[in-house]
Every structure is written in structure tokens, then in C-alpha cells.
Chains A and B, each alone.
Chain A
């Protein structure tokens, strides 16, 4: 495991998705109201680029014929077969115990901290005045 700088915070607005490549693996970065998450960009079901899918809320219902939209913007729906994944946990909604997208810890680090310490900076220029997203993988 190593830490990789993957994006400047300014590049990922709330509700946005940004796909980056780290060591040959594509990951999708998500900004949920200032909390950051990263998921492997591959659906464990059948290999689609998961982060090309639609970011959605979670449709729930306790009573047939009623509909409730919960957790707006916190689910990603696979662009192929439509499986829904919780961006926060990577778990598939329909089969949470058995199907999960690998997720990676994301931290925001200020530029000053990155310059010190054993971090691997990728292709982004290190600028002290900007905040960065750092992925541990």
C-alpha cells in the first residue's frame, strides 16, 4: 500500500466523478458533500467501467405503490446491467454481503504536507497553495 496524489480538490466538485489511473488501475473519485471516496472503476459483475454509470439517489419503498428517494447522489449505477453500488462503501445494494467494488481510502492533504514524507506524487504538479486528494492503494 502506498499513497498516491490523484487530483487537486478543485478538480472534483461536489456531486462530480473523476476517473484517474494509478499504477495501471482506473479508479473513480467521488465528492459527496465534501467527503471523498474512491472505487475501482470495474464492476465486479461483468467488467463494465463502473464509474461511467449514473450517479443517483437510492429508490426505497416500504409499501408497494409508494416511492421515496433517499441518499441523493450517493449511489452509482453500473452503465451496463444497472447494478447499484453505494459510493461510500462500495457494496452492491442488491447483494451487499457477496458483491462489493473495491474501495480505497481517500484523504485530502494540503500541498505542504505532501512535499514532506514518503508519498508518491503522480503526474500532478505539487503546489503548496492547493489541496490535494490522496489515495491509499
Chain B
């Protein structure tokens, strides 16, 4: 079959509205833009020493991307600044034309990854103030994420308590790569606070924790770095489930952002199969893993899976559950999904309503 034109015209014409569960506001010119929100005690520190992370390059990702700024080439604002840094341009290019009813922000700052925990906590707080001042305070459609540094549990909880009542924040931004797997008990006080505020834990692929990108060592190429997001998310689920986090916090919601979802059924089946054999090792886990996955974990849709037979997308979602997926674009990044063209298979109106809006409304209690 030759694809010469797109055939998804109908959605474009019926004025689709979406809840975009992954948008990346970006600092216009790097951490210097954070200075107004950072206590002066940290200004000299930032200038002299800068970020200190678990990698060789101080200010750049270890696996350079294929496009500048990780971004779609057309997302550089004509007014200047990097992609994602200009709200007016974001409105013109994305929020308005793509019918974004609500946009969930994921600022990917270096705060959570700092080896200097105090510095990291200060950056996280600054990012949260920056979100309020320059994004959620400027556009009612946007919702922030409370950025925290989980490896300083006290600081993380303090930050959640500091801003948690502000309804412009709709979730907690918890990097999936921390010093220990996220299900470990050292992080449980954070989940307790999250559950108390009814703030989902939003885990967006990011973070460096000093562990190798794969359990078999460091790969060479960007495609492998991109793919490792799958193994990150697989181990996040395994950790949450097998540590019994959802037994302890049954109302906790976890959203896995930008890891894709094609791998979810096989992982679910593997967990169920081998837990059945070896459940005696993990007595805190009272129910089959699939039950927790289907009650406490959600997945954003981007990067959308593209099976060789497009109809296999329907099988995937049948197996995962139509209530589990949250539409996202990842604006302004290069592997952006446009809501008009994202599903290459026909969905019913009810399915579209769930994926584009309904499931997000169920997960995020601070919309509208």
C-alpha cells in the first residue's frame, strides 16, 4: 500500500479538543533564567560550579540528539529563544490550533539529578516558582508539575507541602531514575504525601542516577539511549508492584510519561507468570501484578506505537485497557505526536473521547 497522502482529515475538521499530558516548557537561555527564582546563596554556586550530575558532560545529554534542542525544527520561536521557551509561540503553534483544553507541563530541569542535594532542591523549588510565574499563571489551560528531588526525601516532602495545595499543580514530577528503584521504601514518604494531596506521581523519562543505561552496560548510539526509556519504565513498574507500593498506598496514581506503551502487555504477562511461581519472596504483594497495573498505573501515548499492521494498535490497547492511556504530544520535541494524525487506525468516538480527554480527567483531579 502506498501512502501518498494522509487520510485523517475528518478529525481536523471536527475541532478535536485534547488534554495534552506532556508539554515541555523550557528555559529560554539555560539556568541563568532561573536566577530570579533561586535564592542568592545559590547564584555564585551556579556560576562557579554549575550542575553536578552522574555523567561526564556537565550541561549536555550524553547521547547527542539528531536535531538541535531535541526539538522539532519548526518549533524555534521567531521571537528568539529555544523551542518551548515562549508561551505566545506555544499558543500559536500548539495550544490553540491543536485544541488543547488542558496541558500538563513537564519541565525537564536538572534539579532532580543533582548530586549536591541542597542545590538540587533549590533548583526544583525555582522551577516550581517559574512554572507558576511564567506558565500556569499566564494561561489557564496549563497545569504544572511539582518538581522534586526524591533522593532528598525530606526536601521533596517539604516542597510537596509547600505548593501542594496550589491547584495550578496537577501532579508531582518524579524522575524515574533515582539512586534506588522508585518502589523502595526510602521513597514511600513521598508517596504518602502525594496520596494525601491526591497528586499523581508523573514519571517522565529523564534523570541520571549513576547506573548504566542498560543492565548490560553502556550502549553507543542515540537510538539505544532512546530505547532504554522502555527498560526504565519496565523496571519502574516492576519496582512499584513488587515492593507493594500499591498495597500500602492503594489510591496512589502513577503516570508513566513518554516511555511508550507497546511493551506493557508483555511485561504484565511476565510479572503475573513469574509472581505466581515466586510470590513467597514478596509477601507484601497480595494480588497479581496485573491488577495493580490496571488500577494504579497509566501511560501517555507518545511516542505512539506504530505496529506493522496498524490494527495491532487496537490489540495493544485492548490488552492494556482503554482506560489506561492518556494522550500526549511531547511538544516541542522531535518525536511529537499531532492529535490529528496520531492514530493510524479508526477509533470510535467513545474511544477517542477516552484517550484524548476522559482518562486524563479521571487521573488528574485538578482540571477545570
Residues of A within 8 A of B (CB): 40, 42, 44, 46-49, 52-54, 79-82, 97-102
* A54 CB contacts on chain B under 8 angstroms: 73
Q: A46 is contacted by which of B66, B74, B337 (Cβ under 8 Å)?
A: B337
A99 and B2 CA atoms in complex are apart in Å by 6
Stretch from B3-11, B144-152, B290-298 forming part of the interface with A: B3-11
A32 to chain B, nearest CB (A): 20
* A98 CB contacts on chain B under 8 angstroms: 1-3
7 additional contacts (CB under 8 A) given A47-B341, A82-B66: A46-B342, A54-B73, A79-B67, A80-B74, A81-B334, A81-B336, A101-B4
A64 to chain B, nearest CB (A): 10
Q: List 5 A-B contacts (CB under 8 A).
A: A44-B3, A47-B6, A54-B73, A80-B72, A100-B2
Question: Given contacts A80-B334, A80-B336, A82-B66, is CB(A48)–CB(B72) below 8 Å?
Answer: yes
Q: Contact size class for B?
A: 20 to 34
Question: Given contacts A46-B338, A46-B341, A80-B336, is CB(A100)–CB(B4) below 8 Å?
Answer: yes
* B335 CB contacts on chain A under 8 angstroms: 80-81
A37 and B334 CA atoms in complex are apart in Å by 26
The B307-337 residues at the A interface (CB cut-off 8 A) are: 334-337
A46 and B341 CA atoms in complex are apart in Å by 6
Residue B340 at the chain A interface, CB threshold 8 Å: yes
Q: B3 is contacted by which of A52, A80, A81, A99 (Cβ under 8 Å)?
A: A99
Of chain B, the residue at the smallest CB distance from A90 is: B4
Of chain A, the residue at the smallest CB distance from B66 is: A82
Asked if A47 contacts B340 (CB within 8 A), the reply is: yes
Asked if A47 contacts B66 (CB within 8 A), the reply is: no
Asked if B2 contacts A82 (CB within 8 A), the reply is: no
B25 to chain A, nearest CB (A): 19
Of chain A, the residue at the smallest CB distance from B340 is: A47
* A79 CB contacts on chain B under 8 angstroms: 67, 72-74
Question: Given contacts A80-B334, A99-B3, A102-B5, is CB(A52)–CB(B340) below 8 Å?
Answer: no
Q: B73 is contacted by which of A52, A97, A101 (Cβ under 8 Å)?
A: A52
B15 to chain A, nearest CB (A): 16
A69 to chain B, nearest CB (A): 15
The 4 closest A-B pairs by CB, nearest first: A79-B73, A47-B341, A52-B74, A44-B3
A101 and B72 CA atoms in complex are apart in Å by 19
A49 and B4 CA atoms in complex are apart in Å by 14
* A100 CB contacts on chain B under 8 angstroms: 2-4
A47 and B12 CA atoms in complex are apart in Å by 11
Asked if B5 contacts A44 (CB within 8 A), the reply is: yes
* B73 CB contacts on chain A under 8 angstroms: 52-54, 79-80
Of chain A, the residue at the smallest CB distance from B4 is: A102
* A82 CB contacts on chain B under 8 angstroms: 66-67, 334
A7 and B338 CA atoms in complex are apart in Å by 31
* B66 CB contacts on chain A under 8 angstroms: 82
B31 to chain A, nearest CB (A): 27
